Amino acid sequence: MPNALIHETSPYLLQHAHNPVNWYPWGEEALQKAIEEDKPILVSIGYAACHWCHVMERESFEDKDTATLMNKHFINIKIDREERPDLDHIYMDAVQAMAGSGGWPLNVFLTPQKKPFYGGTYFPPQAVMNRASWKDVLIAVADAFRSKREAIEEQANGLTRHLFQSNDFGITPATQLFSIEQIDTACENLLQQADKQWGGFGRAPKFPQSFSIQFLLRYYYFNNSSHGLNKAPSSGGGLGEAALQQALLSLDKMIDGGIYDQLGGGFARYSTDTEWLAPHFEKMLYDNALLISVLSEAYLLTRNKKYKTAIEHTIVFVERELQHPYGGFYAALDADSEGVEGKFYVWDRTEVQNILGTDAALYCAYYDITEQGNWEHTNILRVLEPLPTLAEKQGMDAAALQALIEKCNKKLLEEREKRIRPALDDKVILSWNALMNTAYSKAYTVTGNGHYKQKAVENMQFLLEAFADADGNLKHVWKNGTAKFPAFLDDHAHLIQALLQLYRITADTNYLSKAQTLCEKVIIDFSEPGGYFYYTPEQQQDVIVRKKEVYDGATPSGNAVMALNLLELGILFDNNLWRQRAQSMITGLSNVAIKYPTSFGVWLDALYQSIKGTREIVLIGDYKEALDRLLHTPLPFSIIMASAKADSNYPLLKDKISDKPLSIFLCENYACRQPVFQIEDLLKQLK
């Protein structure tokens, strides 16, 4: 008989609906039941694409004896972390404070008042090494709750105080001024953590770190005399070149590695090794959106077709496997198929030989396919040697080898489509879709592919309609025609950013107006006394603390993105209070961003922009061709406004009168140079 999760729409919760555990979704029924029965709450948090979540379900949550223990002693609540990231943030912080680390599945025990007192991540069914079994944990916690209640309550109160105290930053105004030399220091600190051989940052497991790569690309732009505004780089060309090399090395190694699906396109969430060979095979919408965006910036700077191909191939994957018919994008693909991680993606050499025949030898040489396998006795496709190098060794023309590889890829992809597919997490998340919307806009700027612009327009129309309730308030997640859960800070922040990017490529001021309205709503519903923003809106009452999230983790911090949004909207609408608030937010976190750049990459960009200033470029007249040319030019930290004529509703467009077919104004802080009439003349001004 199914439990209470059977009425949910989350694929992750539905996966547990037939467990013998008496699971509840987070809500009033379960929380009230804990109070009435005076039982501890067991909150178990995961997501549909999580490999170890599936493992623990099979080992423990499907076991009747284990379920009996859980049902007898606890009120059991299952949470999809992607539906309720607010709860995940709170209880992950508590577990990290207790255990020193976190992850998923996250299992945390609460008092009936929702205060955490013990927790961990994955627990095995039998004790292994120094790790207690899940049954042992259940018995020990249940016994402690009965016999040591006072100590349990003290522990819970202490952890709750910790959660509040960790939220105290930003109460005093930040007044320190920062200089370009501190950006140099941040770049040096970031490069100290860089893997100079395989790209990326730190040791395994390795995550894409899109924000760190983006910062390095922009650092190079401003410290390279042929691109940037500085005639002489502040720290010499060496650091700028090193920044570019590490950024491109990281992208190259990921594109060549197993973290990238060489056949179908798209990136997995992270690599378990330093070489980007073996990912946890789940594919998330947000990773692919963020990588498309940073690849777009890399292509603008280098014109390396490798990056353009990766952009196009990844978008093909997203549209093939993650696109909802109504215009939104699904959340993720599972890591497992047929209960085995990665089975859908890996290959046996004999299988490849049978499919490709005489072409197999070259194909296997290119993609590191061997008899013994490169991962767990099977093969993940990866590139260890550039195609031109292999072609030269084989005495072949590089173009001929490229054509052979593409022909073979098509055959293997067709064969792979016959396999049992990984499960699809088919909920549609507002913030992740907004990131994808921004990715489409950026992909359009570098490729000029009108399809990408059209997809961004259509997706934005879907988001603004599907996620809004009758009162115009946004929701966080949508499925089967229904949107639910109040939208969080990052939903609003990323949507505002997507609207600003969409304005940039379309010059449609309706997107600006919507961005302004949403920004006003964020200020009303999410503001906290220190000038930052809470993760949850004021109206939401079911969390024990309203957290302020500032780390740039797998996705950008909502606060960091809001700082950038306030900076841009403050200029677009001449709102000095918004600009000042952005500056205060950025300054308040700048020291920690400089010191720990891999955790604050978006904040570093915001600091960099606040130091360098924002270039304001205005096109008046017949702007379409000129706008397209500008979009194809690397212009970080810039605002572009384009209009057929002056418009008093927007300060940058006000009083811009010209009798020429096109007038181009370069401004900063609303002080504009004399107009020029050709893009080439603007580019000279920019240098």
| Domain co-membership, 450 together with 561 | yes
Q: Is beta strand 615-621 parallel, antiparallel or unpaired with respect to 638-643?
A: parallel
User: pLDDT of 493-527, one tens digit each?
Assistant: 999 999 999 999 999 999 999 999 999 999 999 99
| Domain co-membership, 556 together with 509 | yes
Would you say residue 380 lies in a domain?
yes
Query: What pLDDT sits at residue 507?
Result: 97
| Domain co-membership, 562 together with 533 | yes
Contacts of 671 (CB under 8 A, 6+ apart): none
- For residue 499, which of 480, 524, 521 has the smallest C-alpha distance? 521
Q: Is beta strand 662-668 parallel, antiparallel or unpaired with respect to 424-425?
A: unpaired
Cα R_g (the chain), whole angstroms: 26
Would you say residue 171 lies in a domain?
no
Q: Is 156 left (phi over 0), alpha (psi -120 to 50) or beta?
A: alpha
Spatial distance between the Cα atoms of 382 and 255, rounded to a whole number of angstroms: 9
Would you say residue 170 lies in a domain?
no
Question: Cβ of 527: how many Cβ atoms within 10 Å?
Answer: 14
| Domain co-membership, 410 together with 432 | no
Query: What pLDDT sits at residue 643?
Result: 96
Residue 389's φ and ψ, nearest 5 degrees, are -65, -45
Q: Which range of residues forms the domain containing residue 622?
A: 615-686
625: exposed, middle or buried (Cβ count in 10 Å: 0-12, 13-18, 19+): exposed
| Domain co-membership, 406 together with 442 | no
Question: Cβ of 118: how many Cβ atoms within 10 Å?
Answer: 22
Classify the C-alpha dihedral 392-397-401-402 as positive or negative: positive
Please report where in the chains the tokens 């308040």 appear, as a residue: 588
Query: What pLDDT sits at residue 174?
Result: 57
| Domain co-membership, 36 together with 79 | yes
Tell which of 165, 188, 212 closes a domain: 165
- For residue 686, which of 636, 646, 643, 651 has the smallest C-alpha distance? 636
The structure tokens listed for 385 are 């040697």
Domain CATH number, residue 535: 1.50.10.10
Contacts of 212 (CB under 8 A, 6+ apart): 190, 201, 597, 598, 601
Would you say residue 175 lies in a domain?
no
Would you say residue 141 lies in a domain?
yes
| Domain co-membership, 401 together with 362 | yes
| Domain co-membership, 377 together with 318 | no
Would you say residue 172 lies in a domain?
no
Looking at the structure of the chain, the number of domains it has is 4
| Domain co-membership, 640 together with 576 | no
Strand partners, 642: 619
Residue 630's φ and ψ, nearest 5 degrees, are -65, -40
HSE at residue 82, side-chain half, CA atoms within 13 A, is: 29
| Domain co-membership, 202 together with 156 | no
Query: What pLDDT sits at residue 235?
Result: 42
Tell which of 612, 637, 659 closes a domain: 612
Query: What pLDDT sits at residue 228?
Result: 43
Query: What pLDDT sits at residue 229?
Result: 39
Tell which of 418, 450, 476 closes a domain: 418
Its pTM stands at 0.95
User: pLDDT of 386-427, one tens digit each?
Assistant: 999 999 999 999 999 999 999 999 999 999 999 999 999 999
Would you say residue 174 lies in a domain?
no
Walk across the sheet containing 424-425 and list its strands. Answer: 283-284, 332-333, 424-425
Domain CATH number, residue 124: 3.40.30.10
Query: What pLDDT sits at residue 173?
Result: 53
Q: For the chain, which residues score pLDDT lower than 70?
A: 170-175, 225-237
Q: Indicate the DSSP class of residue 480.
A: T
Query: What pLDDT sits at residue 582?
Result: 96
Would you say residue 598 lies in a domain?
yes
| Domain co-membership, 470 together with 583 | yes
Query: What pLDDT sits at residue 234?
Result: 39
Query: What pLDDT sits at residue 35?
Result: 97
| Domain co-membership, 102 together with 187 | no
